[in-house]
């Protein structure tokens, strides 16, 4: 591990922390025997060994969270927002260090690491305003001298299970909103990126301590699938927000549903861009290439498929091939590089397996893939972004591979293109590149994209904090971040007040004694 990364850990105050869990400034589990090793896909070096939580650790975290909720829900929402504002300021001070650690532990480019921390800052800003806007409604009662309204109350403990590809941002989307809504949070970060989770917990714990907030409002628990299953099966955790694969999400939904809890799922994507005959091809190229190779294809919003009109197909594919030839693959901390590594060897194997399956089904690769070798690729996690001509109904095309494999599909008319776009099990992000107003409006209408996100002249990758983020079908149906996503973290209550001196019943029912 380089001296620069060591200094980053020192700057973040986590160079000597080896916890299994934290309920704030209380870091525990130092005597546990099981560890998770965090390796960087950038250079293959071990960054740290992190203790794994036990069942007893989990019970301590739950107990502390329950205790903290009793206090935290009494803090006025604008005051809760003020503390989240301070968290945003602390992130601003640590943006470079935390962004660098995100890049090194996960493997995304340094600019994307900084961008992820900026998303955290943005959601804090959003949550501060939201803390004064947790509005209910007033309705007219059918009974005289009655007032009827609804209000929103916090749920209690929000369990957050996050994925490696956005190791800190997605946690913050959930936590910032959950906190201002009056909830407490228990976070299980990905076992592939535990250090970034520890760094975030260190930052927020300092903010809570400065405001005399008790332990347990923000908790961190390190572990693998076993800890996740404890959370999802625990009736003391009314909401589980889980980000990851569709397979994982289905297991979470079954477990949480069996106890009639609530789940907020943000799962796989199989995102397509339609390249119209009326598209600005140069602008489309930027969106397509970044969408396909950004984060080495490991975003849930990564562009997996390009659906290209037959009249511009050859021209656009030629542009793509030329652009891919110019990609620089290497250390993501070097801002001259476009593409970093996959997260680990398992991801590399999945990438290679998908290429072979694509070829077996008849895919024609116009840009070949493969694993890069040499000293600068010593981690074994660097692969070549590749492009294949396919049919939409290939089994491998229907499947989400978390890697930079781009599939090309030809179409003849817009109805066909939309059917192809919608013809996969996932429904997260979608886009059309067109300068034709009618095409754009049809794509955004009920006749168009069936995804939770639909863009015009923007790629599939990336989202702004102000809009609700999530998708349909096997993407899970959950919504995080902006708009009214805050309602997922609260329970709705309808209230009726009778200020008359009689008790009339609803629907005109008479019950005379």
What CATH number is given to the structural domain containing 337? 3.40.309.10
Provide φ and ψ at 258, rounded to 5°. -60, -30
Q: Are residues 203 and 60 in the same domain?
A: yes
The range of the structural domain enclosing residue 101 comes to: 3-134+153-267+476-486
Q: What does the alpha-carbon distance between residue 34 and residue 20 come to, in Å, rounded to a whole number? A: 9
Specify whether 230 is located in the same domain as 85. Answer: yes
Cβ neighbours of residue 203 under 8 Å, at least 6 residues apart? 12, 87, 90, 91, 94, 98
Residues 293 and 383 in one domain: yes
Do 321 and 361 fall within a single domain?
A: yes
Instruction: Decide: 2 and 44 in contact? Cβ < 8 Å.
Output: no
The Cα 269–Cα 285 span in angstroms is: 21
What one-character-per-residue DSSP string does 4-43 give?
Answer: HHHHHHHHTT-TT---SEESSS-EE-TT---EEEEE-TTT
The closest alpha carbon to 12, from 86, 82, 100, belongs to 100
Establish if 76 belongs to a structural domain. Answer: yes
Pair 408, 306: CB distance under 8 Å: yes
User: What would the pLDDT profile of 45-77 be if each residue is shown by its tens digit?
Assistant: 999 999 999 999 999 999 999 999 999 999 999
C-alpha separations of 396 from 361, 401, 473 in Å: 8, 8, 18
Question: 313 and 184 in one domain?
Answer: no
Adjacency order of strands within the sheet including 303-309 = 364-367, 386-389, 405-411, 303-309, 271-275, 429-433, 453-456
Pairwise CA distance, residues 217 & 156, whole Å:
10
Q: Which of 112, 116, 191, 266 is catalytic?
A: 266
Question: Does residue 492 lie within any of the structural domains?
Answer: no
Is 300 part of the annotated catalytic residue set? yes
Dihedral Cα 454, 460, 463, 468, nearest 10 deg: 30
Q: Report d(CA 498, CA 260) in Å as an integer.
A: 32
Distance CA 72, CA 185 (A): 11
Q: Are 431 and 458 in contact (CB under 8 A)?
A: yes
Q: Is 389 a catalytic residue?
A: no
Summarize pLDDT for 477-498 with one digit per residue, the tens: 999 999 999 999 999 999 999 9
Options 124, 185, 300, 386, the catalytic residue:
300
**400 in the same domain as 279:** yes
513 residues of the chain, pLDDT tens digit each: 677 899 999 999 998 877 899 999 889 998 899 999 999 999 999 999 999 999 999 999 999 999 999 999 999 999 999 999 999 999 999 999 999 999 999 999 999 999 999 999 999 999 999 999 999 999 999 999 999 999 999 999 999 999 999 999 999 999 999 999 999 999 999 999 999 999 999 999 999 999 999 999 999 999 999 999 999 999 999 999 999 999 999 999 999 999 999 999 999 999 999 999 999 999 999 999 999 999 999 999 999 999 999 999 999 999 999 999 999 999 999 999 999 999 999 999 999 999 999 999 999 999 999 999 999 999 999 999 999 999 999 999 999 999 999 999 999 999 999 999 999 999 999 999 999 999 999 999 999 999 999 999 999 997 899 999 999 999 999 999 999 999 999 999 999 999 999 998 888 888 877
Same domain? For 322 and 429 the reply is: yes
Cα–Cα distance measured from residue 219 to residue 385, given in angstroms and rounded to the nearest whole number:
38
Give the chain's domain count.
2
- DSSP code at position 488: G
């Amino acid at each position: 591990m380089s001296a620069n990364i060591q200094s980053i850990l020192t700057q973040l105050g986590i160079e000597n922390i080896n916890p299994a869990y934290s309920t704030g400034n209380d870091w525990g589990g130092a005597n546990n025997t099981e560890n998770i090793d965090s390796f960087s896909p950038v250079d293959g070096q071990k960054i740290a060994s992190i203790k794994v939580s036990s069942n007893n650790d989990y019970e301590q975290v739950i107990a502390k969270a329950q205790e903290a909720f009793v206090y935290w829900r009494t803090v006025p929402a604008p005051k809760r927002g003020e503390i989240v504002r301070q968290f945003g300021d602390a992130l601003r001070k640590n943006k470079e260090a935390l962004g660098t650690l995100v890049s090194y532990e996960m493997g995304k480019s340094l600019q994307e690491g900084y961008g992820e921390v900026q998303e955290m800052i943005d959601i804090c800003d959003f949550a501060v305003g939201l803390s004064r806007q947790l509005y209910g409604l007033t309705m007219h009662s059918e009974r005289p001298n009655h007032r009827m309204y609804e209000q929103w109350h916090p749920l209690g403990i929000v369990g957050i299970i996050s994925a490696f590809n956005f190791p800190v941002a997605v946690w913050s989307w959930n936590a910032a909103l959950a906190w201002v809504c009056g909830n407490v949070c228990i976070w299980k970060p990905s076992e592939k990126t535990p250090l970034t989770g520890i760094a975030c917990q260190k930052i927020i714990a300092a903010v809570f301590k400065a405001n005399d907030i008790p332990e347990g409002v923000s908790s961190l628990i390190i572990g693998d699938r076993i800890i996740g299953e404890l959370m999802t099966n625990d009736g003391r955790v009314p909401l589980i927000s889980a980000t990851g694969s569709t397979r994982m999400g289905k297991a979470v939904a079954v477990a949480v549903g069996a106890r009639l809890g609530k789940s907020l799922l943000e799962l796989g994507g199989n995102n397509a861009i339609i390249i119209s005959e009326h598209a600005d091809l140069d602008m489309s190229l930027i969106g397509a290439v970044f969408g396909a190779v950004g984060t080495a294809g490991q975003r849930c919003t990564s562009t997996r498929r390009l659906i290209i009109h037959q009249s511009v197909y050859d021209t656009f594919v030629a542009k793509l091939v030329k652009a891919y030839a110019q990609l620089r693959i290497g250390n993501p901390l070097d801002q001259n590089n476009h593409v970093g590594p996959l997260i680990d060897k398992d991801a590399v194997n999945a990438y290679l397996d998908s290429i072979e399956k694509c070829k077996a089904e008849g895919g024609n690769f116009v840009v070949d893939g493969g694993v890069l070798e040499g000293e600068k690729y010593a981690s074994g996690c660097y692969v070549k972004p590749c492009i294949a001509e396919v049919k939409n109904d290939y089994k491998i095309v229907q499947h989400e591979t978390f890697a930079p494999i781009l599939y090309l599909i030809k179409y003849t008319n817009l109805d066909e293109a939309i059917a192809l776009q919608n013809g996969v099990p996932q429904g997260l992000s979608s886009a059309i590149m067109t300068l034709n107003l009618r095409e754009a409006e049809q794509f955004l209408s009920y006749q168009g994209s069936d995804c939770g996100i639909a863009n015009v002249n923007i790629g599939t990758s990336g989202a702004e904090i102000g809009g609700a983020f999530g998708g349909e079908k096997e993407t899970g149906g959950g919504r995080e971040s902006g708009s009214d996503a805050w309602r997922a973290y609260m329970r709705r209550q309808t209230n009726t007040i009778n200020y008359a001196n009689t008790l009339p019943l609803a629907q005109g029912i008479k019950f005379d004694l």
